[in-house]
């Protein structure tokens, strides 16, 4: 074993000057859309390498020199066209020999995303990936992280499934950094690029069912839609009927059905927290609790809290064995003393007769930018599901890639509430479509 003191003594007696630092590696070529318009594994691998290099060696506003705005928009539109055709609830039915990797929140931590893909094994015909959302915000490389995953989606649309998280919304990206990140990196083209991402967010599905027995979604379960027709207004002109107004009965709250989930309108910039289209907001924002029953999630101001009895009811009604949701990192769990912390990147929150409820978080050492000196130092994790029993999860925890390249935050992390609590609901879009 070498000793630091011996090395210092050798330097003291050696008159030769120190060796100069090696020059930085040469930049990769500018990314171009593949000839013929068909992505390949080599193209995606080169994209990953370029994005990694840019994050380490280029200022943020120099990214377009290697990844032009036109290419970003083309990739986003290509992925959005695929996502748009998928239903709200995607059925993922592995063939014999296929395994499924489930991934939780990523939050713009590009180097941890790259490590996860390599550690789990890249998507392939033998390995399906299901991502539970929250690709952007808080971390410095949300744009790069999401572009890499969109490229995998275009390459392998039947083996990579990208779900929406609550941060894939206009409100969250304005507050937690992604909008400013896009503007900083793409300057004059930023507004156009940002709008393309917002439209892509609207196309992201809400949930999956894997192998007929595992339900995954970002936040979790959802209430049923109960609407009561109000009195019809008088008929209008001949041949024209005035639509009835509908209002949600505030005293009724029941568990929603998968059929209702399939019929919900997901093309909203910000899932509404009131009105009749509540299912998207519930799926993206709800949290488990140890208290029985369904109740409004007053802490967040949107979504639900649900107890072990509701988990049991959801599993039994839909003939499922496992729920895998995400949405809560170490900061959120630090404020919730009724549930376990997120040190390992996952928790088992409910164990009931029909199965389990798991929270999965895949961003280690989160958040990247933190106001307090004491960090959570949490691990991230992913889950592997395999035959013959896809309802038996295998957990893989991992530490953050260190050191992270120097980077500046794109939001005021010292003033923003870390766990998405106390939302400014008045500032949220009332479900207005961007299209």
CATH number at residue 65: 3.60.21.10
Rounded mean pLDDT of the chain?
A: 89
Question: Is residue 25 in a domain?
Answer: no
Under a CB-based contact definition with an 8 Å cutoff, are residues 103 and 137 in contact?
no
Q: 57, 84, 107, 167: which is the annotated catalytic residue?
A: 167
**Total tally of structural domains belonging to the chain:** 1
* pLDDT at residue 394, rounded to an integer: 98
Question: Is residue 10 in a domain?
Answer: no
Question: Is residue 261 in a domain?
Answer: yes
Between these two residues, 411 and 11, which has the higher pLDDT value?
A: 411
* pLDDT at residue 422, rounded to an integer: 57
* pLDDT at residue 234, rounded to an integer: 41
Q: Above 90 in pLDDT, residue 130?
A: yes
Question: Is residue 239 in a domain?
Answer: no
Q: Above 90 in pLDDT, residue 392?
A: yes
Beta bridge partners of 360: 346
Cα separation of 331 and 418, whole Å? 6
Cα separation of 229 and 208, whole Å? 32
**Confidence at 23, pLDDT banded by 50, 70, 90:** confident
Question: Is residue 407 in a domain?
Answer: yes
Average of per-residue pLDDT across 410-416:
91
Question: Is residue 245 in a domain?
Answer: no
Taking the chain, what is the end-to-end CA distance rounded to the nearest angstrom?
Answer: 64
pLDDT tens digits, one per residue of 287-319: 999 999 999 999 999 999 999 999 999 999 999
Under a CB-based contact definition with an 8 Å cutoff, are residues 248 and 227 in contact?
yes
Name the H helices within 160-301. 170-176, 178-186, 190-203, 258-263, 279-285
* pLDDT at residue 410, rounded to an integer: 98
Q: Above 50 in pLDDT, residue 131?
A: yes
Question: By residue range, what is the domain housing residue 381?
Answer: 41-224+252-429
Question: Is residue 171 in a domain?
Answer: yes
Model-wide pTM > 0.95: no
Is 337 designated active site? no
* pLDDT at residue 273, rounded to an integer: 87
Under a CB-based contact definition with an 8 Å cutoff, are residues 38 and 78 in contact?
no
Q: For residue 272, what are the contacts with CB-CB under 8 A and spacing of at least 6?
A: 278, 280, 281, 428, 430, 431
Residue 435 burial (CB count, 10 A):
9
| pLDDT over 70 percentage in the chain | 85
Question: Is residue 61 in a domain?
Answer: yes
Average of per-residue pLDDT across 76-87:
98
């Amino acid at each position: 074993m070498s000793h630091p003191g011996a090395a210092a003594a050798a330097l003291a007696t050696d008159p030769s000057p120190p060796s100069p630092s090696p020059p930085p590696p040469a930049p990769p070529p500018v990314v171009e859309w593949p000839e013929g318009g068909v992505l390949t594994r080599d193209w995606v691998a080169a994209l990953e390498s370029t994005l990694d290099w840019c994050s380490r060696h280029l200022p943020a506003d120099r990214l377009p020199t290697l990844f032009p705005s036109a290419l970003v928009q083309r990739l986003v539109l290509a992925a959005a066209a695929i996502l748009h055709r998928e239903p709200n609830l995607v059925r993922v039915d592995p063939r014999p020999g296929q395994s499924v990797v489930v991934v939780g929140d990523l939050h713009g931590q590009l180097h941890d995303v790259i490590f996860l893909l390599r550690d789990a094994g890249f998507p392939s015909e033998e390995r399906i990936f299901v991502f539970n959302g929250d690709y952007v915000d808080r971390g410095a490389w949300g744009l790069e992280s999401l572009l890499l995953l969109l490229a995998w989606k275009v390459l392998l649309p039947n083996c990579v499934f990208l779900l929406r998280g609550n941060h894939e919304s206009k409100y969250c990206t304005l507050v937690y950094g992604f909008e400013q990140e896009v503007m900083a990196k793409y300057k004059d083209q930023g507004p156009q690029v940002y709008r393309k991402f917002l439209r892509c967010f609207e196309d992201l599905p809400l949930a999956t069912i894997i192998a007929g027995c595992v339900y995954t979604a970002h936040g979790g379960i959802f209430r049923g839609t109960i609407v009561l027709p109000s009195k019809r207004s008088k008929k209008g002109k001949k041949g024209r009927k005035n639509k009835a107004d509908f209002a949600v009965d505030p005293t009724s709250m029941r568990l929603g059905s998968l059929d209702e989930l399939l019929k919900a309108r997901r093309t909203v910039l910000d899932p509404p927290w009131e009105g009749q289209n509540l299912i998207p907001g519930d799926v993206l924002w709800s949290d488990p609790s140890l208290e029985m029953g369904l109740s409004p999630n007053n802490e967040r101001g949107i979504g639900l809290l649900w107890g072990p009895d509701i988990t049991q009811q959801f599993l039994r009604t839909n003939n499922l064995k496992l729920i895998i949701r995400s949405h809560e990192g170490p900061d959120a769990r630090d404020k919730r003393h009724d549930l376990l912390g997120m040190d390992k990147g996952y928790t088992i929150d409910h164990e009931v007769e029909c199965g389990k409820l798991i929270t999965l978080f895949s961003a280690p050492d989160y958040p990247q930018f933190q106001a307090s000196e004491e960090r959570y130092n949490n691990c991230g994790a992913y889950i592997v599901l395999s035959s013959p029993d896809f309802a038996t999860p295998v957990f893989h925890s991992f530490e953050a890639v260190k050191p992270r390249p120097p980077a500046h935050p794109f939001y005021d992390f010292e003033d923003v509430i870390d766990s998405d609590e106390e939302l400014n609901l008045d500032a949220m879009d009332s479900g207005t479509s961007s299209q």
